[in-house]
Structure 1
Amino acid sequence: MDPLLTGEQAVLGAVLLDPRQLDRLGWLEPRDFYRPAHQALFGALRTLGGAGHPALAAEGAVPLAWLNDSLAEAGRHVQGLTASYPHALIAACPRPANAPVYGRMVLEGSIQRTVAEHAARLLAVAEEGARQHEADGTVAQSDVLVGVLVDLARRWGTPPRPQGPAVPPAVVAAAPAAGQIEDERFLLALLVHQDGAIGEVFGWLRPGDFADRGHGHLYRCLGALHHRGEPIDPVTALWEVQRRGLLADGTLTGERLSAVLGNGAAGSAEWLGEQLLRGSLNRTAAVAARQIAAQADGDRLAPGQLIGQALHALGPVDQVRERWRTATSPPDSQPRPRADQTARVSAALARSPARAAGRTMPGAASARIPCVVTAPTVRTRPHRSSS
């Protein structure tokens, strides 16, 4: 026995037995039903109800015209409905008064199918984007999925808040696109051998954007040197790798390091970094889509949990796309940080719980002191002279 099929039959049978149940099912839509015949039949019932069918005002037994007219209206949109099928639906309904409960079962199944369907679409678009070396389609499809999740949350009556799963589903990341590992190696060689090149990508490229784990760790080493204001060249890079134990634990090998540190490279670090970030966006979206599809498989999660965990899975996609927007937007369009954040601090303090009357913090003055936040001072590590 299929619970979803039983629920669809029960809610249709309830409306056929008592047309006034339509008033309690205004939130249910024909597309929420899985079977096309059930979609057409529920749509017909809503159409007749909206037109003021006489059965809505009938007292006692429902007139036979309600069943016949519903069947005729549904037959305009789908084939295969017989005169006996409405009677089978009526027999499947234990109590017409439980129609809202049956309807919620139908809506729950619809939410699970809708989430799985749009996750599959995002996965297909992300995989195609990886092959075509473009990310616009992935960005657009992720927006569609977020919009679908927000709409489903509204219909279910739950706030659309990201909710992390207790145990994240195990998802195997797809293999990187052809040539991507070589592009990463070329970019790292360029960052090592071209003075100042890392400044072109340091603001938005992250170690996790590299498909190869070892390349990501090597980029982290170069970023640490840049952050400390130290020079980047084959010698300093090798020393940082050694200090972090990446050779001892096997994360990197001498042969792989030689491919980066031993050969010079010339080109645009910014352009190569954008290519890597585009690939990272597609990979991250594909992983999120697989996680959402795994969560939507079966009836293990309630709709509110499924929606929250799907939004949580899309969080890393939003982070990568924000950096993608930063990397590809003109410099003048970048948002500038506010120097004075007094208003934001005051708003945060206003949201804090009030202290009990007569209690003050030790050493606090009775008068309110305005809080002014200044930009932090950036300190760079001085270079040591060779003498």
Structure 2
Amino acid sequence: MHPLLSAEQAVLGAVLLDPDQLSHLGWLAPDHFYRPVHQALFGALRKLHGDGHPALSADGPLPLSWVIDAVDEARLHVRGLTSVYAHTLIQACPRIEHAPVYGRMVLEGAIHRTIAQHAIGLHQAARADAVQGEVERVLRRADVLTGVLTDLARRWGTDPRPVAPTGAPTAAWAVPPTVQTDQVAEDERFLLAVLTEQPRAMDEVAAWLRPGDFADPAHGRLYRCLSALHHRGEPIDRITLLWEAQRRGLLSDGTLSGEQLAAVCDGMVPGSADWFGHRVMRHSLTRTAAASARAVRALAEDEVLVPGRLINHALHALDPLAEVRTRWAIANGSPTRKPRTSAPSAGGPPPARVQAARARSTPLAAASPPAPTGPIPAPAAARPPARGHH
């Protein structure tokens, strides 16, 4: 049996045996469970607990009505749940007092699963926008994914900040790049031709267009040559561009041939550099979004990564998209988005983060913990670990 399934059964069995365990699982939600039947049952247990079920105030052994009513409530939302399975869950719980640890395992699985699902959504949006020549859908999905990562970080009790993965990339990262279409290559050639024919047009795109925005590496290196001539204030034409390309080794390493360079320079294309530049930039944004989505999904599918590292590595994988997005906003005259900040507040970490961290690390030993440095809410009155049912 998969450890995640065992953890889901164990945390439900613990709550069925001792409803007071729900007071230690306030950070766990029904949708964190993988199986729909487990989602429905945990939601029912929370509802009965919140409504003040009579079994909670009963003296002596826990009444069997707690289990029966929980199963009946869950049946309203899912099929196939029986009282027999509820008792199977009870038997699957080794130690009732370990419920917060079992809940943490469930939350870990939910974090990996949720990040992978939103990464897939971002990748699908990038592919759709690339076909339709738009970016609105992919920008919305990127905002959603960033918000999900921030929310999951707070639930887990960690500080959301981009952290680069250490060590060599895994095989899951070795994903082939997006196939370059004829339209993308044509837009790039047309832009280079306009910039060569109209040197002043470099002023229109130099502030936001970068060599890495070109899908064809040869076109990107050729644009770098144009940018260098423009930066030095030197004249730009087919001869100076050929000379700069030779100085940078584009002819000697086989990146370009003289004939290919001449074909770009001699292509008389009527049009605006700003217009072609925007098209190249749109392709770059959707292409970068797809690459970031693949990287985030590869991270989420790595079961070795603990949630804190997974979230921070995923935020780092989105940084290239944020950089391209900032330049896209500049190209369109829009205000740039504020960068993510992770500086702690003057009053310390948020209470929700503290609560999540404490819930994940509640000591199980009987030894007294060290003296706290700040006020800690008084724990709820503990019910005997095993009350049983009658």
Both proteins in one fold, TM over 0.5: yes
Match of 1:255 among 254, 259, 268: 259
Higher relative contact order (CA 8 A, sep 6+): 2
Structure 2: segments with no counterpart, 5+ residues: 338-390
Residue of structure 1 in register with 2:215 after alignment: 211
Residue of structure 2 in register with 1:77 after alignment: 77
Per the normalisation by structure 1, the TM-score is 0.84
Residue of structure 2 in register with 1:12 after alignment: 12
- 1:299-320 Cα shifts (integer Å, max 9, x gaps): 1200011100110000010000
Match of 1:280 among 257, 280, 284: 284
Aligned partners of 1:266, 1:191: CA distance in 2, in Å?
A: 11
Aligned partners of 2:22, 2:278: CA distance in 1, in Å?
A: 54
Residue of structure 2 in register with 1:137 after alignment: 137
Residue of structure 1 in register with 2:373 after alignment: none
Q: Does 1:128 align with 2:117?
A: no
Please report how far the alpha carbon of residue 14 of structure 1 lies from its aligned counterpart in structure 2 after TM superposition. Answer: 0.2
Residue of structure 2 in register with 1:239 after alignment: 243
Residue of structure 1 in register with 2:386 after alignment: none
1:1-387 paired onto structure 2 within 5 Å: 1-166=1-166, 167-168=168-169, 169-329=173-333
- 1:76-127 Cα shifts (integer Å, max 9, x gaps): 1111111201100000000110000000000000000000000000000000
**Do 1:71 and 1:83's aligned partners in 2 also have CA atoms closer than 8 Å?**
yes
- 1:255-280 Cα shifts (integer Å, max 9, x gaps): 32121123332210001100110110
What is the count of residue pairs matched by the alignment?
333
**Do 1:207 and 1:220's aligned partners in 2 also have CA atoms closer than 8 Å?**
yes
**Do 1:194 and 1:265's aligned partners in 2 also have CA atoms closer than 8 Å?**
no
Please report how far the alpha carbon of residue 252 of structure 1 lies from its aligned counterpart in structure 2 after TM superposition. Answer: 1.5
CA RMSD of aligned residues (A): 1.3
Please report how far the alpha carbon of residue 70 of structure 1 lies from its aligned counterpart in structure 2 after TM superposition. Answer: 0.2
Aligned partners of 2:267, 2:328: CA distance in 1, in Å?
A: 29
- 1:123-167 Cα shifts (integer Å, max 9, x gaps): 000001101111111111101100000000000000001010113
Please report how far the alpha carbon of residue 227 of structure 1 lies from its aligned counterpart in structure 2 after TM superposition. Answer: 0.3
1:197 partner amino acid: A
- 1:220-249 Cα shifts (integer Å, max 9, x gaps): 000000000111110110000000111111
Aligned partners of 2:20, 2:265: CA distance in 1, in Å?
A: 77
Report % sequence identity: 59
**Do 1:130 and 1:177's aligned partners in 2 also have CA atoms closer than 8 Å?**
no
* Worse-superposed segment, 56-65 or 38-47: 56-65
Please report how far the alpha carbon of residue 170 of structure 1 lies from its aligned counterpart in structure 2 after TM superposition. Answer: 2.4
Aligned partners of 2:136, 2:182: CA distance in 1, in Å?
A: 20
Please report how far the alpha carbon of residue 334 of structure 1 lies from its aligned counterpart in structure 2 after TM superposition. Answer: 8.2
Q: Which secondary structure state, in structure 1, belongs to the residue aligned with residue 199 of structure 2?
A: coil
Structure 1: segments with no counterpart, 5+ residues: 336-387
1:210 partner amino acid: F
**Do 1:288 and 1:314's aligned partners in 2 also have CA atoms closer than 8 Å?**
yes
